[in-house]
């Protein structure tokens, strides 16, 4: 695997391979010494042009647990704030010998451009690009679902028979997009629920059911997994719904809806949460909620991605399958 840019071009074998390596990494994370020497001497740069808390520290923890050197580079406070382009920044990082660049950028497609550019000969991991994709978030979500469903017997399994309902601001959500591709590749059945104004216009290529009424959807397709999305006010230029009370009454997971869910339905949220808007405090903190597991699992999944990008060719086990080849 040369880059990890989207889940749309991950096939089933690649996806299961990543999740299985993440299982190995999770075992390391439960040890007293949570460290492997696999990436000693490698340099990972976290290049963040957009705010982030958990994704950036998760990648940092993942790289450090694999013994890589980590450079954190945020756009604010750097020359990017002075107008430096992605090209100049990339060339600076290349001159410093970066082996992998973890890129978060407000423009959809920026990680692909960096990977295709020739400005830098490093593996590129997309850590969220505009409203396009956020592949490691979807991988950690799939990993979390698989563990809740199959427990210790997760290795090698897919998600067939799992019904996932994703609710909220689909229009602006790179998390939803990456999950749609990955979860359906893994065999899950995906339903998207949103107000009409927050649903993308042309969804003919999306392998999903679309619903606008949350209660009807919950009745029609009782979910194994209910994934609530953040209302991304920073990406909205106008009014997409009448007011926040109306939104949470119709599309939020409030206490009343929480009480109506099938007994074994799990509740997910990628964070950061707007408590009281898309999810109630009781739902976020309930035993069904996987919010904290998602954060823990994020480190294992990002270790797996960095490992397969940077060490996969020279170390065994684990080694990459022949299908985890260059995407360029
Ligand atoms: C998501 C993101 O940045 O796309 N958050 C995250 O990575 N944990 C989702 C969000 O911001 O709502």
Within 6 A (CB) of ligand 1 lie 54-55, 128, 134, 137, 174-175, 230, 232, 270-271
- Residue the block writes with tokens 């990543």: 18
The pTM of this model reads: 0.93
Ligand 1: which of 107, 128, 135, 269 to mutate, most ligand atoms within 8 Å of CB?
128
Burial 181-217 (b: 16+ CB within 10 A, else e): bbbbbbebbbbbbbbeebbbeeeeebebeebbebeeb
Q: What is the 3-state secondary structure (H, E, C) of 51-84?
A: CCCHHHHHHHHHHHHCCCEEEEEECCCCHHHHCC
Give, for 178, the enclosing helix (H) or strand (E).
Answer: helix 174-185
CATH of 7-133+298-310, one of 3.40.50.300, 3.40.50.1370, 3.40.50.460, 3.30.460.10: 3.40.50.1370
| Two tokens, residue 119 | 């400005």
Centre of ligand 1 to C-alpha 134, Å, is: 8
Q: Where are the domains of the chain?
A: 7-133+298-310, 135-293
135-293 has which fold?
Rossmann fold (3.40.50)
- Tens digits of pLDDT across the chain (328 residues): 899 999 999 999 999 999 999 999 999 989 999 999 999 999 999 999 998 889 999 999 999 999 999 999 887 766 776 667 888 999 999 999 999 999 999 999 999 999 999 999 999 999 999 999 999 999 999 999 999 999 989 999 999 999 999 999 999 999 999 999 999 999 999 999 999 999 999 899 999 999 999 999 999 999 999 999 999 988 887 778 878 899 999 999 999 999 999 999 999 999 999 999 999 999 999 999 999 999 999 999 999 999 999 997 544 444 444 444 433 3
Bridge partners (DSSP) listed for residue 185? none
Phi–psi pair at 280, nearest 5 degrees: -80, 160
The residue whose CA is least distant from atom 7 of ligand 1 is 55
Compute, in angstroms, the gap from residue 272 CA to the centroid of ligand 1.
7
Atom number, ligand 1, closest to the C-alpha of residue 173: 4
């Amino acid at each position: 695997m040369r880059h990890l840019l989207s889940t749309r071009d991950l096939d089933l074998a690649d996806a299961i391979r990543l999740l299985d390596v993440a299982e190995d990494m999770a075992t390391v994370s439960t040890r007293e010494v949570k460290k492997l020497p696999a990436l000693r001497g490698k340099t990972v740069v976290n290049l963040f042009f957009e705010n982030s808390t958990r994704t950036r520290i998760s990648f940092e923890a993942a790289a450090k647990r694999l013994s890589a050197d980590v450079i954190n580079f945020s756009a604010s406070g750097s020359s990017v704030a002075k107008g430096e382009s992605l090209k100049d920044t990339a060339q600076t990082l290349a001159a410093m010998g970066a082996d992998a660049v973890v890129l978060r950028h407000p423009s959809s497609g920026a990680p692909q451009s960096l990977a295709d550019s020739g400005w830098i000969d490093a593996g590129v991991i997309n850590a969220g690009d505009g409203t396009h994709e956020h592949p490691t978030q979807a991988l950690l979500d799939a990993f979390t679902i698989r563990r809740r469903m199959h427990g210790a017997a997760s290795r090698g399994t897919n998600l067939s028979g799992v019904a996932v309902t994703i609710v909220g601001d689909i229009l602006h959500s790179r998390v939803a997009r990456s999950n749609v591709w990955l979860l359906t590749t893994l065999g899950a059945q995906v339903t998207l629920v949103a107000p009409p104004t927050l649903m993308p216009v042309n969804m003919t290529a999306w392998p999903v059911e679309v619903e606008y009424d949350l209660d009807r959807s919950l009745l029609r397709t009782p979910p194994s997994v209910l994934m609530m999305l953040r209302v991304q006010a920073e990406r909205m230029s106008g009014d997409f719904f009448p007011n926040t009370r109306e939104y949470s009454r119709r599309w939020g997971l409030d206490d009343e809806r929480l009480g109506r869910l099938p007994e074994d339905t799990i509740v997910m949220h990628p964070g950061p949460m707007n408590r009281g808007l898309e999810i109630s405090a009781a739902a976020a903190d309930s035993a069904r909620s996987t919010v904290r597991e998602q954060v823990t699992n994020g480190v294992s999944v990002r270790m797996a991605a960095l490992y397969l990008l940077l060490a996969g060719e020279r170390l065994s086990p684990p080694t990459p399958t022949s299908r985890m080849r260059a995407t360029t």
